[in-house]
């Protein structure tokens, strides 16, 4: 097939690589504009642009996908299909109508649940036992198009947003190749989404989401810590400085007030929550490296009764 690929972050890269490996003709790669980062304002390429340039592919970077000039460029390419993986812009109908086989999206959840920008992290935060990938025929709605194929992945007890991201990124590329084969052969029967089964919208992550409210249940906080690892991270405050918590486990201890440190041992410390407690095992203090809580305690005189938050 003649493929236009649209994507931006690391999550998109394995799918582009799979398309190339499968022998499809990638006639263009569309991604977000470059960004200036750091104090020196050095220009940073989106990950998908870096990968496209490695393969000598033509890259398009429209500020807005609805720009008439960009629409004309895509029409001139005459792709059989457009593959969209975390592109980061809503596509207008004028783009959706261009390819013979439509615009196929690789979405990192089992639709219709977890429509939205951050389905991977919210699946962990909300304690799902299973997640997965859905390929979807895009329409003008947000993640509302007809479903094509699905593949599931069970979540491990210690699953993080980062580990699930990597699993679904790889799985998405494999499922997309199956989807293209099925579309070309006419063997896929698109399935409409049941809107009544759509879960709470998987809204975009921000740093404020990571501030730990110790009045929440211990299990909820533990899932938040895992879901927001590695970004934007779950955090609290200790002695006026930010403390990121990277790993913790639920403890049955339950005497104290939320946010109070109720015990300290060689491996870490335990803080009270809204029901049980959390034994903190890995953390990072402001301006310091990530470390085991035990190593932190060897250089810090933390005491029972002190407060976090």
Q: Summarize pLDDT for 263-303 with one digit per residue, the tens.
A: 999 999 999 999 999 999 999 999 999 999 999 999 999 99
Please provide the average confidence, as pLDDT, over all residues in the chain: 96
Say whether pLDDT at 37 is over 90: no
135 vs 251: CA distance, rounded Å: 40
Our measurement of the distance from residue 108's CA atom to the centroid of its chain's CA atoms, rounded to an integer in Å, reads 8
Q: What is the pLDDT of residues 110-119, one digit of tens each?
A: 999 999 999 9
Give the pair of three-digit tokens for residue 253: 């201890």
Q: What is the pLDDT of residues 181-212, one digit of tens each?
A: 999 999 999 999 999 999 889 999 999 999 99
**Average pLDDT of the segment spanning 77-100:** 97
228 vs 210: CA distance, rounded Å: 7
Q: What is the pLDDT of residues 158-171, one digit of tens each?
A: 999 999 999 999 99
The CA-CA-CA angle for residues 155, 159, 164, to 5°, reads: 75
Give the pair of three-digit tokens for residue 274: 């809204």
In this prediction the pTM is 0.95
What percent of the chain has pLDDT above 90? Answer: 95
What percent of the chain has pLDDT above 70? Answer: 99
CB of 280 within 8 A of CB of 271? yes
pLDDT at 236: 98
Element (H, E) at 166: helix 161-185
CB of 102 within 8 A of CB of 137? yes
Say whether pLDDT at 39 is over 90: no
**Average pLDDT of the segment spanning 16-32:** 98
Q: What is the pLDDT of residues 92-131, one digit of tens each?
A: 999 999 999 999 999 999 999 999 999 999 999 999 999 9
Residue in this structure with the two tokens 């496209």, named with its chain if needed: 52
pLDDT at 254: 85
């Amino acid at each position: 097939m003649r493929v236009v690929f649209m994507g931006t972050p690391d999550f998109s890269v394995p799918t582009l690589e799979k398309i190339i490996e499968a022998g499809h003709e990638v006639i263009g790669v569309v991604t977000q504009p470059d960004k200036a980062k750091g104090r020196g304002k050095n220009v940073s390429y989106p990950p998908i642009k870096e990968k496209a340039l490695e393969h000598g592919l033509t890259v398009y970077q429209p500020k807005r996908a609805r720009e008439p000039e960009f629409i004309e460029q895509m029409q001139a390419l005459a792709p059989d299909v457009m593959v969209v993986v975390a592109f980061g812009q809503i596509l207008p109908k004028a783009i959706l109508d261009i390819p013979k086989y439509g615009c196929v999206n690789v979405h990192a959840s089992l639709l219709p649940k977890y429509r939205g920008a951050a389905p991977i992290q919210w699946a962990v935060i909300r304690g799902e036992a299973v997640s997965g990938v859905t390929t979807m025929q895009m329409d003008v709605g947000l993640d509302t198009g007809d479903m094509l194929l699905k593949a599931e992945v069970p979540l491990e007890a210690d699953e993080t947003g980062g580990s699930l991201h990597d699993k679904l990124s790889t799985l998405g590329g494999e499922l997309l190749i199956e989807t293209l084969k099925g579309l070309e052969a006419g063997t896929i029967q698109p399935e409409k989404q049941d809107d009544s089964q759509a879960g709470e919208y998987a809204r975009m992550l921000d740093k404020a989401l990571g501030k730990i409210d110790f009045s929440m249940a211990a299990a909820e906080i533990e899932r938040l810590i895992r879901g927001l690892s590695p970004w934007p991270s779950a955090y609290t405050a200790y002695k006026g400085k930010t403390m990121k918590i990277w790993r913790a486990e639920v403890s049955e201890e339950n005497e104290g007030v939320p946010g109070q440190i109720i015990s300290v041992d060689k491996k870490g410390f335990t803080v009270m929550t809204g029901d049980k407690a959390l034994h903190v095992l890995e953390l990072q203090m402001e301006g310091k490296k990530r470390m085991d809580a035990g190593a932190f305690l060897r250089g810090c005189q933390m005491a029972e009764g002190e407060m976090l938050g």
